[in-house]
Structure formats: C-alpha cells, structure tokens
C-alpha cells in the first residue's frame, strides 16, 4: 500500500485535484457545509471519482493537527514524482530559465508564500538544500494555495554545487544581499537567471554567497532594514518578468 499524507484547505486540495487527481485517495469534508466553495470542490471530486467522507469538526481538527483546515482535509499519495533540475531545464526549450533558490528557509509559512510567489511570477522551479530547510509539509502546501502542485520544488544535497551546475548551463546566479553595491534594477535579467535568497535576518550562507555570480540589493527607502523573504522573492522575480516583457 502506498504511503499517504494529509493536505488541507480549498486551494491546496483543488489544485491537487486539477493537476494530479490520481494522487487523491479521499477527501473528508465538514458535514452541513453547503456554500459555493464546497459545492465546487465536491463537484470536482465527483468528476474525478474521488471518495468524499462527511465528518464533524472535531475529527477534521484532529486530522489537520489543529491548523486551519477550512472544513476540508484530503488524503493524498505521499510519493511525489521525483523531478531534477535537469528535467526542468531540459523541458524549457528556448525559454530562458527563471529559478528561485532558497537558502536556509525553515519557516513553512515563508516557504509556502515563496512557492505561491514563484508560481505567480512564472518561475520554472524552486530549489532548496536538504538541510536547513523545512520541506513540503501540510502547512507549506496550504499556504502555497495550490502552487506546491504547479511549481517543481527541487531538493538538493549540496546547494553550492547545484549553483555551479546552473552556471555551467549558462544560468546567471544572482544573490539578494542588502549590502550589495548594485540595485536589482541595474542587472540584466532577460537571459537565464536564478535568484538566490536567504532567510530574513540571516541571509545566505557564506559559501552560497561566494558562489553567486553577483549580488544585488532591493533599495529600501523607509525605516525597516529587511523584508520577508517571500516579499523579496516577489520583487526579484517580477523584475525579471518585467524585463522579459511579461
């Protein structure tokens, strides 16, 4: 029997049904809830032949581990398809790659928000190290609002080595750093590029920073010294999209 995991929230479950319905084993929903969002979800589940179980709030709370579940919890296949960076890059054709690399992001809410931003900006993958990272847990998937099923999340053993492999494939690696001399708007991002961001406060690790082709900063005009990593990721990725004429 295949291993399973639980995901919750309308966005996450709807995205899973739309993009990988075969992975959804069953959906548990709050009995008595009949609003539009629930009707749409139940209709989608029925169209894919997915079993739906009615349950009370106490059981749903237990399944979701006390987190906000919006009255819907799904049991899905835990064996996600393994995707490598080469798989992603080889499938782009003539498109210049746009990657988001996260170094030291351990907060699942931040990772989920970064995945959502990456999806919105059309990034082709999010890359993160195996260590010092939270991984794709239920909270990440819920916060990502479906993006965890649309943006490849690639876990690598050695981040610096993976950055060098990107460089060997012609990808310009840009590290976001508050102390950088150059602003991100001054960097040509129309070609293949990867933005590397570290956790708010700590930033990138030393070896990661040293491996980047160049560093760039987001100009700060107020009193705060740093931004949440997902906000920074959005600024960087959407600037790349702006330059590419998106």
CB distance 206 to 175 below 8 Å: no
CATH number at residue 202: 3.40.1280.10
What percent of the chain shows pLDDT beyond 90?
A: 58
Rounded Cα distance between 135 and 106, Å, is 8
What percent of the chain shows pLDDT beyond 70?
A: 97
Task: Show the domain range for 13.
Answer: 4-77
> Which residues share a beta bridge with 76?
5, 24
Same domain, yes or no: 140 and 221: yes
pLDDT tens by residue, 146-198? 788 778 899 999 999 999 999 999 999 999 999 999 999 999 999 999 999 99
Residue 77 has a pLDDT of 83
Whether pLDDT at 246 is above 60: no
Of residues 194, 202, 198, the one with CA closest to residue 88: 194
Mean pLDDT of 80-86: 73
Residue 2 has a pLDDT of 59
CATH number at residue 71: 3.30.1330.30
**Prediction pTM value:** 0.75
Mean pLDDT of 8-29: 85
Whether pLDDT at 1 is above 70: no
Same domain, yes or no: 176 and 238: yes
Query: Rounded mean pLDDT of the chain?
Result: 89
Whether pLDDT at 10 is above 90: no
115 vs 134, residue with greater confidence: 115
**Range of lowest pLDDT (52-56, 101-105, 121-125, 129-133):** 129-133
Of residues 97, 100, 96, the one with CA closest to residue 232: 100
Same domain, yes or no: 118 and 57: no
Encoded tokens for 181: 């001399």
């Amino acid at each position: 029997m295949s291993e399973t995991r639980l995901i919750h929230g309308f966005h996450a479950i709807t995205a899973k049904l739309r993009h990988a319905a075969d992975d959804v084993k069953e959906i548990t929903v709050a009995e008595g809830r009949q609003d539009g969002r629930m009707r749409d979800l139940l209709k989608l589940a029925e169209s894919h032949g997915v079993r739906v179980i009615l349950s009370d709030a106490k059981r749903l709370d237990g399944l979701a581990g006390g987190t906000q579940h919006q009255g819907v919890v799904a049991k899905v296949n835990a064996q996600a398809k393994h995707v490598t960076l080469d798989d992603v890059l080889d499938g782009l054709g003539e498109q210049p790659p746009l990657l988001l690399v996260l170094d030291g992001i351990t907060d699942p809410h931040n990772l989920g928000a970064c995945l959502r931003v990456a999806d919105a900006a059309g990034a082709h993958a999010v890359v993160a190290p195996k260590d010092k990272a939270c991984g794709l847990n239920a909270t990440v998937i819920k916060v990502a609002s479906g993006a965890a099923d649309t943006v490849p999340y690639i876990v690598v053993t050695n981040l610096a080595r993976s950055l060098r492999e990107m460089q060997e494939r012609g990808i310009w690696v840009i590290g976001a750093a508050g102390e950088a001399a150059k602003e991100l708007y001054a960097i040509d991002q129309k070609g293949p590029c990867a933005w590397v961001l570290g956790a708010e406060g700590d930033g990138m690790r030393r070896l990661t920073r040293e491996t980047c082709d160049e560093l760039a900063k987001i100009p700060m005009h107020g009193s705060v010294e740093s931004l949440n990593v997902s906000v920074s990721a959005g600024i960087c990725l959407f600037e790349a999209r702006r330059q590419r004429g998106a």
